Structure 1
Amino acid sequence: MRSTRHRTTRTVLTATAALTLVLSASLVASAATAKAPDAVAAPDTGPASSASDTSAAAAALTWSDEFDGPAGAAPNPANWNLETGAGGWGNNELQNYTSSRQNSALDGNGNLVITARQDGNGGYTSARMTTKGKVQPQYGHLEARIKIPRGQGIWPAFWMLGGQFPGTPWPNSGEIDIMENIGREPHLVHGTLHGPGYSGGNPITGQYQHPQGWSFADDFHTFAIDWSPNSITWLVDGNAYQTFTTANTGSNPWVFNQPFFFILNVAVGGNWPGYPDGTTQFPQQMVVDYVRVYDSTGGGGGGSTGTVTASNGICLDVAGAGTANGTPIQLAHCNGGQAQQWTVGSDGTVRALGKCLDVAGGGTAAGTAVQLWECNGTGAQQWARTSGTQALRNPQSGRCLQPVGRVQNDGTRTEIANCDGSAVQRWTLP
């Protein structure tokens, strides 16, 4: 039985992280252009599942952080918050999480390095990074390529919390542990769900053993989930090892049909892993090659593709067929071009040219411009069809899509405005 790993941990949020709740990824530059997918170099990983690889390759890459940048640079603040503090994090952990480059930095070779250190007084420092309020996917193929640290009492993890945390407290907010390892089990990784009625020492969980029984710390491995409504499958190096569905929660709620944010951290000590001993060496490093989100359906979580037309028959259009973040969305005479082909997804997104219809800056005020932006899972990119009025409503702001000045002419840009049921807010979807 695992210990009650996640109690106070899931209720602690620093002021810095809390401030990010009001931000959209649209406020800042997106992640670096994705590298070509790396092959797992280790000969010890065993054959990857060709079906899984083919699925990921066919899916659209909707977001990634490839950790490109100079050695010693901070993780991209467009994507990551650094949570700080000590106090055990609800699990009697020993480390103090810091924002220092000594604990989290790029290595100049396309990797993020999270380093757990022991200081001269016998204390420990490390880093805990989240994408809260910045990157919050819902569904898809989510993966990271990681070389984990090793040693008794060392606890690396790649995991997720529900985007409504802490407003919705843990465990009702939900938690998806994509990969956890505790140092005393070098050949095992764990995949787990926590939710109401199945949390702490009684989660829904399973584990994967290295095919050769070797340590996962010896080389890079790819840890992933395939996440769809009411089902999550865990994979290591392309090998699926468990699937949990709504049937596994029994009479308890399934709380995983909502956006979640990523967390990367290395803890030192705690109820579950135990504590460092004379065999544990410091510093210990978790090296992360990339974190990626693929739309596993190839089309925004399902849905249909075609033109989106205004009530006068004119088309919703990406200005100049541009693909840069921030490209305006406008009305234009329908021409059959790709800039007017929109996929309305079951995940709430509306996509064209591989990117999402987005409220600029995550704004909620009437008159905020609507643009094209890299898909990031935030509320700025969620749209709901309003029955009756045929409006496209952004739930985060509570406002509806319309042309600026309420003029339905070729070249008119778009914005969000108070929903009023008028014809200029009526859209015909594919």
Structure 2
Amino acid sequence: MKFFNWMPVLVLTGVLASCTASKERLVWSEEFSGTTLDETYWNFELGDGCPELCGWGNNEPQHYTKTNHELVDGQLHIKIKKEDSLYTSTRITTENKLDFKYGRVEARAKLPVGKGIWPAIWMLGANHREVGWPACGEIDILEYVGREPHMVFTSLHTPDSHGETINTKKTRIDNIEEGFHVYEAEWTEEKIAFSVDGEVLYTFNPTLKNKETWPFDQPFYLIVNSAIGGKFGGYDIDDSVLPQEFIIDYIRVYQ
């Protein structure tokens, strides 16, 4: 973890619209360089989501724990396992500890593979407990589902979509399962552009920007997890591929 002498609860603000890449400044960085996850910035979300959101809203069978991860050589390894009849994984967030408005989020990660695997790096509006989802907005920097090999999903959820994934792009990248790749979302007052390894895959820039189409004018916080199965991950889970690991090398925020 790199520190910038901030208080534990952070709100980073900035406008990239008038900036060039050369003027970007690294404002927060998680390099996973310690031996344990730094809970100054990270929360663990545990269990099966019940009673508030059973199945985590998608009929997912996994239970999240504090033990399905480790930091190894400056990388976070999220372990996706089946133990007896129980699927387990890890889900961490920066809710109430780090959020930001506008910027470029960059994450370097290696995907787990196999039917039923669903790793993600994403963001939720910091007001989601007050206004609910999807009114808070959602920015999916990376989603991958093992039932669709070589495909990367970059998506947004807004009130006008009623939670359906209509603002989205599915892109085929033949080598996406091989080694590490860099996933980015560049978020400004006007648009959000998603990239993999420096190539822009999808840009969201609605002509009309209001609460229904553009809840992206407020702070958001980070979420990293790997779900298993469910409505999007797929109910045909291939137990033979388990255990798997979702490995995150770093997450960086520039403004």
TM-score (norm 1): 0.52
Are 1:113 and 2:77 an aligned pair?
A: yes
Residue 57 of structure 2 corresponds to which residue in structure 1? 90
Report the CA distance shift for 1:83/1:260 in structure 2 as closer, same or farther (over 3 A). same
Q: Structure 1 vs Structure 2: percent identity of aligned residues?
A: 41
Q: Matches of residues 373-388 of structure 1 in structure 2 within 5 Å?
A: none
Instruction: Give the drift of 1:85.
Output: 1.4
Are 1:183 and 2:146 an aligned pair?
A: yes
Residue 198 of structure 1 corresponds to which residue in structure 2? 161
Which amino acid in the other structure matches residue 186 of structure 1?
A: P
Are 1:99 and 2:59 an aligned pair?
A: no
Residue 51 of structure 2 corresponds to which residue in structure 1? none
Report the CA distance shift for 1:129/1:279 in structure 2 as closer, same or farther (over 3 A). closer
Q: Structure 1: 5+ residue runs without aligned partners?
A: 1-24, 29-54, 296-430
Are 1:61 and 2:42 an aligned pair?
A: no
Residue 399 of structure 1 corresponds to which residue in structure 2? none
Are 1:151 and 2:132 an aligned pair?
A: no
Residue 42 of structure 2 corresponds to which residue in structure 1? 80
CA contact (8 A) 1:230 1:257 kept: no
Cα distance per residue 1:318-351 (max 9 Å; x no partner): xxxxxxxxxxxxxxxxxxxxxxxxxxxxxxxxxx
Report the CA distance shift for 1:249/1:117 in structure 2 as closer, same or farther (over 3 A). farther
Residue number among 222, 229, 249 corresponding to 1:289 in the alignment: 249
Which amino acid in the other structure matches residue 77 of structure 1?
A: E
Report the CA distance shift for 1:251/1:61 in structure 2 as closer, same or farther (over 3 A). closer
Report the CA distance shift for 1:246/1:148 in structure 2 as closer, same or farther (over 3 A). same
Residue 92 of structure 2 corresponds to which residue in structure 1? 129
Measured in 2, the distance between the counterparts of 1:248 and 1:190 equals 24
* Larger CA Rg, structure 1 vs 2: 1
Cα distance per residue 1:288-334 (max 9 Å; x no partner): 00000011xxxxxxxxxxxxxxxxxxxxxxxxxxxxxxxxxxxxxxx
Measured in 2, the distance between the counterparts of 1:276 and 1:263 equals 25
Structure with more of its chain in strand, by fraction: 2
Measured in 1, the distance between the counterparts of 2:211 and 2:75 equals 42
Structure with more of its chain in helix, by fraction: 1
Measured in 2, the distance between the counterparts of 1:112 and 1:251 equals 35
Which amino acid in the other structure matches residue 118 of structure 1?
A: K
Are 1:263 and 2:230 an aligned pair?
A: no
Report the CA distance shift for 1:236/1:259 in structure 2 as closer, same or farther (over 3 A). same
Measured in 1, the distance between the counterparts of 2:247 and 2:139 equals 21
Measured in 2, the distance between the counterparts of 1:198 and 1:79 equals 31
Q: Matches of residues 18-417 of structure 1 in structure 2 within 5 Å?
A: 26-27=7-8, 56=21, 58-70=23-35, 73=36, 75-86=37-48, 87-100=54-67, 103-107=68-72, 109-120=73-84, 122-210=85-173, 213-214=174-175, 216-247=176-207, 252-278=212-238, 280-295=240-255
Paired positions, count: 236
CA contact (8 A) 1:156 1:265 kept: yes
Cα distance per residue 1:360-403 (max 9 Å; x no partner): xxxxxxxxxxxxxxxxxxxxxxxxxxxxxxxxxxxxxxxxxxxx
CA contact (8 A) 2:58 2:231 kept: yes
Instruction: Give the drift of 1:186.
Output: 2.0
Report the CA distance shift for 1:282/1:201 in structure 2 as closer, same or farther (over 3 A). same
Report the CA distance shift for 1:160/1:251 in structure 2 as closer, same or farther (over 3 A). closer
CA contact (8 A) 1:56 1:294 kept: no
CA contact (8 A) 2:133 2:163 kept: no
Which amino acid in the other structure matches residue 284 of structure 1?
A: Q
Cα distance per residue 1:223-280 (max 9 Å; x no partner): 0011100210001001111111132779933100111000000001001221344464
Report the CA distance shift for 1:250/1:26 in structure 2 as closer, same or farther (over 3 A). closer
TM-score (norm 2): 0.86
Residue 403 of structure 1 corresponds to which residue in structure 2? none
Cα distance per residue 1:151-173 (max 9 Å; x no partner): 00000000000011111210100
Instruction: Give the drift of 1:57.
Output: 5.7
Measured in 1, the distance between the counterparts of 2:162 and 2:242 equals 31
Supply the RMSD in Å over aligned alpha carbons: 2.1
